[in-house]
């Protein structure tokens, strides 16, 4: 038999109508609405979790406490790394740091921390946060922070 639009039929069982319970006794699912006779599970207030057995699972998982800060964390760059990758008079910016592989992304803020001492002169820092110790070293070596 050829497969055409008019010969295609729905898969067996795919068109089964939803069970409508509690709509009169003549439907076959009236009075107790397929919940059985008496007991907690037949009442209106029974928890849906109890019916599907999730209550113990939920109870056994720990609560998540505290909160996660929306404030972005700084990407840390050490002075020692700047000494290795840059030359005298270079511009240190998130773009140049990303290009040299010192930071992962330009979307997060960058902070230069004073691990080691600055050996380069006349460095220009743009769009980068610096610690107090680094700030004094940059100014001592003739650099600028914008």
* Sign of the torsion formed by the C-alpha atoms of 102, 93, 110 and 122: positive
Determine, yes or no, domain membership for 116.
Answer: yes
Give the model confidence (pLDDT) of 103-137 as tens digits. 999 999 999 999 889 999 999 999 999 999 999 99
For residue 100, tell me if it sits in a domain: yes
Q: Which pLDDT value is given to residue 46?
A: 72
Whole-number pLDDT of residue 49: 67
* Residue 48 forms part of a structural domain: no
Give me the CATH number covering residue 135.
3.100.10.10
Q: Is residue 131 part of a domain?
A: yes
Q: 52 lies in a domain? A: no
- Tell me, yes or no, whether 23 lies in a domain: no
In this prediction the pTM is 0.55
Q: Which residues of the chain carry a pLDDT beneath 50?
A: none
Would you tell me how many other CB atoms lie within 10 Å of the CB of residue 100? 15
In the prediction, which pLDDT does 41 show? 80
Structural domain boundaries enclosing 103: 75-145
Give the closest residue to 123 by CA, choosing from 106, 135, 111, 110: 135
Is there a domain that residue 18 lies in? no
């Amino acid at each position: 038999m050829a497969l055409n639009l008019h010969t295609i039929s729905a898969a067996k069982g795919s068109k089964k109508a939803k069970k409508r319970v509690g709509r009169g006794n003549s439907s076959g699912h009236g009075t107790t609405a397929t919940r059985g006779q008496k007991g907690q599970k037949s009442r209106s207030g029974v928890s849906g979790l109890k019916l599907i057995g999730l209550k113990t699972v939920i109870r056994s998982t720990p609560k998540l406490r505290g909160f996660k800060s929306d404030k972005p964390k700084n990407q840390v760059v050490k002075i020692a790394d700047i000494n290795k990758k840059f030359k005298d008079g270079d511009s240190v910016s998130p773009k140049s740091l990303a290009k040299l592989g010192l930071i992962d992304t330009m979307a997060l803020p960058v902070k230069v921390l004073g691990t080691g001492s600055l050996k380069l002169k006349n460095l220009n820092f743009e769009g980068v946060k610096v610690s107090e110790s680094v700030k004094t070293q940059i100014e001592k070596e003739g650099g600028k922070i914008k």
